[in-house]
Amino acid sequence: MPKYKKRGLSLLFIPFVFYISALQAAPWIDPGDERLRHHITVLADAGIIKTPITTWPLTWGAVVDGIEQADTSEVSDAVVWSLEYVKFSFKQATGFFSARSYAGMQSDVSAISDFGTDQREKTELKGELDWLGDNIAVRLRGTWVNDASDGKDLRYDGSYIAGMLGNWIVNAGAIDRWWGPGWQSSLILSNNARPVDGLSLQRNFSDAFESPILNWLGPWSITAFAGQLEQNREIPNAKLLGARFTFRPFSNLEIGLARTAQWGGDGRPQDLSSLWDLMVGNDNRGYNGIDIDNEPGNQMGAIDWRFGGTVLNTHSAVYMQYVGEDESNGFPSRGTYLYGLETAFSISSAFHRFYIEFTDSMTKGNLPNNAYEHLIYKSGYRYRGRPLGASFDNDSKVFTFSGAHYFSNGNALEWRIHRLDLNRDGTNVATPGGSVYGDVNSETEMVEIAYSTIISDFKITASVQNANEEIYWNNQTIKGAGGGLSIEYKL
């Protein structure tokens, strides 16, 4: 069973980053912490946490509400372990002030990213300061990047101001999102690209409807946002809109429905009539016969589900995600797919999680160069040089087998084995759009291994990776072998 010591105030100096810190403070759980997600997932599969868990950021209110109401008189040691860890993490998240610093170096950019990816560029130094009041939370985060792939060496990604309005969290800032049950990928919205500046609204507690007509939906959550894309694209200053609704009609089943859209921008319709046409689906009138003058935007629709529970002392689930690139008879069509199977169990002083995940980003009918592309928004469904969905971009088939081993002393071993078939047709659309993998078909096997250890208040992570072949990505070549080292300080 894990033991956690009480942490006090301290000072940290890492070159170029200086902090005075108390405890971490945030109204929600950001995507990126795979260990915390693992324990939350265990509690959800055990029926302890009732809230939907496939929309990130995930609000602390809904998570803790489930724990406080749960009957834990007869649960396994594994569930007790997860309960202790989530309670410990929540205690960290409720401090008045906090800080975090991070320094990381790796041999190549993170072209193949996943839920736990915390670093995109080769060298990053981050500093973060949080303040949490009764109804307001503020985070200031600064990142310095050496030789940034998008030319932006200084960034404020992750900064925000959030406030409570009843059971709703209103936020302004640039926060990472992950929509879907996948661990390796999300086809509609992931943390692969840098977060988009914008406004968002998210339900805090996920209580079921009281009305008997809707009560069958069970616990439910909804989030919506409106963001501003960069100026340096084919349609400058286009907006990115998105909404996601998740519900659990049964304790073992979670269903998610999502839509995202690129809308407006310089020279494009952006009045209320155009926005209404977008919202009711009066667009995507046909990929080849598109009405360029009147088309209100470029949108995608997604449905995903996750069925999980406790089976033979394991916490296991099967999940799927479908994302439609266009529309046919009011429903998403020309879809891309993601399938996965996961299981977790504890043995002695270690908790183990394994998953198998398959992603196919070539749209139905084997239509090449369709996913994440558009005839009007020619820069595609991308932001600052990265896909907003899966890091594999379009026309790719990827198989991933992964394991994570969490030890009671706080250390962790994580590994992934990929079978990559990137841009498998070897063609691409002309700039400003096109896959980040260019017109090169990269077929390779890749192995990634990372080990994290806790020394005092420092988390030190060393990683290595090896691929049979080099990978072409955004006009640079990612080497077959490489590694990285990072140091994180968080009280």
So what's the pLDDT on residue 91?
85
Q: How far apart are CA 488 and CA 457, in angstroms?
A: 9
Q: With a threshold of 0.85, does the pTM exceed it?
A: yes
Give domain status of residue 266, yes or no.
yes
Structure tokens at 438: 């260019």
From the list 33, 106, 2, 128, the residue with the least C-alpha distance to 409 is: 2
Q: Give the total number of structural domains in the chain.
A: 1
* CA distance to 201, 212, 224, 291, per residue, from 316 (Å): 31, 31, 29, 47
Give domain status of residue 285, yes or no.
no
pLDDT digit of tens for each residue in the chain (491 aa)? 443 333 222 222 222 222 222 234 578 999 999 999 999 999 999 999 999 999 999 999 999 988 887 777 788 889 999 999 999 999 888 878 889 999 999 999 999 999 999 999 999 999 999 998 888 999 999 999 999 999 999 999 999 999 999 999 999 999 999 999 999 999 999 999 999 999 999 999 999 999 999 999 999 999 999 999 999 999 999 999 999 999 999 999 999 999 999 999 999 988 888 888 888 877 655 444 556 666 788 889 999 999 999 998 999 999 999 999 866 556 677 899 999 999 999 998 899 999 999 999 998 877 888 899 998 999 999 999 999 999 999 999 999 999 999 999 999 999 999 999 999 999 999 899 999 999 999 999 999 999 999 998 899 999 999 999 999 999 888 888 999 999 999 87
So what's the pLDDT on residue 479?
84
Is the Cβ–Cβ distance between 412 and 406 less than 8 Å? yes
Give domain status of residue 88, yes or no.
yes
Residue range of the domain that includes 303: 10-279+296-490
Structure tokens at 236: 């400058």
So what's the pLDDT on residue 399?
98
Give domain status of residue 4, yes or no.
no
Q: How far apart are CA 131 and CA 94, in angstroms?
A: 10
CATH number of the domain enclosing 224: 2.40.160.130
Which conformational region is residue 217 in: left (phi greater than 0), alpha (psi within -120 to 50 degrees), or beta? Answer: alpha
Give domain status of residue 336, yes or no.
yes
So what's the pLDDT on residue 23?
30
From the list 111, 182, 112, the residue with the least C-alpha distance to 358 is: 182
Taking each continuous run of H as one helix and of E as one strand, the counts in the chain are: 4, 29
What string of DSSP letters covers 75-111?
--HHHHHHHHHHHHHHHHTB-SEEEEEEEEEESS---
Q: How far apart are CA 314 and CA 241, in angstroms?
A: 38
- The radius of gyration of the chain from alpha carbons, rounded to an integer in Å, stands at 22
Bridge partners, residue 350, by sequence: 347, 407
Give domain status of residue 358, yes or no.
yes
Residues in contact with 329: Cβ distance below 8 Å, sequence separation at least 6, in sequence order: none
Give domain status of residue 3, yes or no.
no
Give domain status of residue 375, yes or no.
yes
From the list 436, 426, 423, 420, the residue with the least C-alpha distance to 469 is: 420
What string of DSSP letters covers 263-329?
E--TTS--SHHHHHHHHTT-----SSS--TTT--EEEEEEEEEEEEEEETTEEEEEEEEEEEEEEET
Residues in contact with 170: Cβ distance below 8 Å, sequence separation at least 6, in sequence order: 162, 163, 164, 199, 200, 201
Structure tokens at 217: 């939906």
